[in-house]
Amino acid sequence: MVTIQDTELKEGIHEAIQKAHKLSTPVLVSEVQKIHQMEPLSFFRAGKESFFGERFFWKDPSDNIFLVGLGICKQIQTDQDSGRFFHVEKEWKRFTENGLIFNKYKEAATGPIMFGGFSFDPQKTKTDLWSKYSDTLFHIPKYLLTVINNETYLTTNVICTQHDNESLVERIVNERLSLLSFIGKPNFSENTLEKKLEINPEEWKQSVTELVQDLKTGSLKKAVLARELRLVFKDTLSIETIVFNLLKEQPRSFIFAFESNGDCFVGASPERLVKKEGEDLFSTCLAGSIARGDTDNLDEELGNQLLTDEKNLSEHQFVVDMIKEAMEQVCTEVHLPERPALMKMRDIQHLYTPVIGKGSKSSSLLQLVNLLHPTPALGGLPKKEAVEKIREVEELDRGFYASPLGWMDYEGNGEFIVAIRSGLIQGREASLFAGCGVVADSNAESEYQETNIKFRPMLSALGGMDK
């Protein structure tokens, strides 16, 4: 249980109401407490009744950070295309600068943070599939549980207007207490799959074959094509169960869930886009794939095959060159190994090159997201031409699949991943997404098999492996 010092929150709210009156604009109060340990997934579950559709979950591969957000204190969103990264940056600054922040711990990811992302391509015609998500969507939660460096913090964010009064304090203190004292375990019901439908696999293979022809003759060097798997289950899917399974089965990935208006985008991505920690910037080149082996020997053999395969090495090198160049625009130093290593997850292994850069305290995380997205791991090369090609030939509405998703705190620290190995959950239905890098010597059938492997993490977490 927690011992809560409510005085700061009370005084903060009092001050914020006065400030809101003076400025004629709503003012944020953000208060951080250190609390006893609480299971992140239990906290996520605790918000199910009051905040369904307004929750998020995040974990990084090193288990160093867990974030759970409940409720929406403010949204930053736009369906505009041009300048969307800059727009979010500006809104976020304005919002936090005016706020009253009580945070004596100074840990990253405590206090006000925003969580969300940018759709893959705002110029692609939007379908009903993603109607619950704006093209650019960030949530600032009412309650945030942060587990970082094995310490647990609770941030309470409150927006005060000039019309509020101090009865707000009592309501929030009570709500917070009931969330923290929630003891019900998540209800891990098995999901029963009723229907599994691959969306036009033959047409997809045909589009890969046609793209290969283009790559052989034109200026385009690489483009990533993705496809969709549609699943229908017997009952409404439990997001808690999916996240629980992903945590268990994909411990070396980023695990995320992002609810919006009743739908939930969830996944286990191994791919960091960019992380900012003070002046240090980290990115990841991940491209080139092969299956895992059933035995250690076979697994090692497959890994060695991947490390020396020309087609996969070229697919990877496009990503390395582009990320290096983007990082060099912002950093004074950029370091990366000469050759890729292997990154092994439960279902798949990839070629992997980590990139480390030294920026300055003022280099902005969203500026880097803007420069990097989409890398040739999800878009292609040259960037603009590849995105146009995908827009033209891909049947899928990617929405947030393959897009930058992550968090940023009020000091500008944060992390964005590329949201792959993911799916959109809509009641008892789910759409899963998987793509692969097509280069001049790609073969449609093997690219198709590669996407089948990439569906597995989500299929397994959903309980849809056997059909």
Ligand X SMILES: C=C(O[C@@H]1C=C(C(=O)O)C=C[C@H]1O)C(=O)O
Two tokens at 316?
């990877």
Q: Which of 289, 317, 349, 413 binds ligand X (CB under 6 A)?
A: 289
Which C-beta is closer to ligand X: that of 16 or that of 436? 436
- Binding piece for ligand X, criterion CB under 6 A, among 181-189, 200-208, 320-328, 435-443: 435-443
Task: For residue 284, give the nearest of 359, 348, 337 by alpha carbon.
Answer: 337
C-beta of residue 84 within 8 angstroms of C-beta of residue 117: no
Residues from 318 through 337 that contact Mg ion (CB under 5 A) = none
Our finding on whether 377 is near ligand X (CB under 6 A) is: yes
| Partner that binds at residue 272, options ligand X, Mg ion, none, CB closer than 5 to 8 Å by kind | none
Which C-beta is closer to Mg ion: that of 12 or that of 437? 437
**315 labeled binding residue:** yes
Our finding on whether 135 is near ligand X (CB under 6 A) is: no
Mark residue 247 as left, alpha or beta (left: phi above 0; alpha: psi -120 to 50; beta: remaining).
Answer: alpha
Our finding on whether 421 is near ligand X (CB under 6 A) is: yes
d(CA 224, CA 340): 20
DSSP 8-state assignment for residue 252: T
Question: What are residue 225's DSSP bridge partners?
Answer: 436
Q: Which of 267, 288, 374, 399 binds ligand X (CB under 6 A)?
A: 288
3-state SS of the chain: helix, strand, coil percent to 5?
A: 35, 30, 35
Q: Which of 69, 186, 437, 464 binds ligand X (CB under 6 A)?
A: 437
Our finding on whether 436 is near Mg ion (CB under 5 A) is: yes
Mark residue 306 as left, alpha or beta (left: phi above 0; alpha: psi -120 to 50; beta: remaining).
Answer: alpha
| Partner that binds at residue 377, options ligand X, Mg ion, none, CB closer than 5 to 8 Å by kind | ligand X
- Binding piece for ligand X, criterion CB under 6 A, among 51-59, 237-245, 384-392, 434-442: 434-442
Q: Which of 420, 430, 432, 462 binds ligand X (CB under 6 A)?
A: 420
For 308-373, the DSSP string reads H-HHHHHHHHHHHHHHHHHHHHH-SEEE--SS-EEEE-SSEEEEEEEEEEE--TT--HHHHHHHHS
Residues from 282 through 321 that contact Mg ion (CB under 5 A) = 289
Which C-beta is closer to Mg ion: that of 40 or that of 437? 437
Residues from 59 through 88 that contact ligand X (CB under 6 A) = none
Map tokens 């204190």 to a residue.
73
Which C-beta is closer to ligand X: that of 71 or that of 267? 267
Which C-beta is closer to Mg ion: that of 229 or that of 290? 290
Close Cβ partners of 19 (under 8 Å, ≥ 6 residues apart): 27, 98, 100, 160
DSSP 8-state assignment for residue 12: H
Annotated catalytic sites, by residue? 222, 271
C-beta of residue 320 within 8 angstroms of C-beta of residue 287: no
To ligand X, the closest distance from the beta carbon of 454 in angstroms equals 4
| Partner that binds at residue 459, options ligand X, Mg ion, none, CB closer than 5 to 8 Å by kind | none
215-244 footprint of ligand X as x/- string (CB under 6 A) = ---------x-x------------------
Two tokens at 361?
């305290």
Two tokens at 454?
């990439």
Two tokens at 189?
């019901």
Phi, psi of 438 (to 5 degrees): -100, 125
Our finding on whether 436 is near ligand X (CB under 6 A) is: yes
Which C-beta is closer to ligand X: that of 156 or that of 375? 375
| Partner that binds at residue 327, options Mg ion, ligand X, none, CB closer than 5 to 8 Å by kind | none
List residues binding ligand X (CB under 6 A): 224, 226, 271, 286-289, 315, 350, 377-378, 402, 420-421, 434-437, 454
List contacts with Mg ion (CB under 5 A).
289, 436-437
Q: Can you say which residues are annotated as belonging to the binding site? A: 315, 450
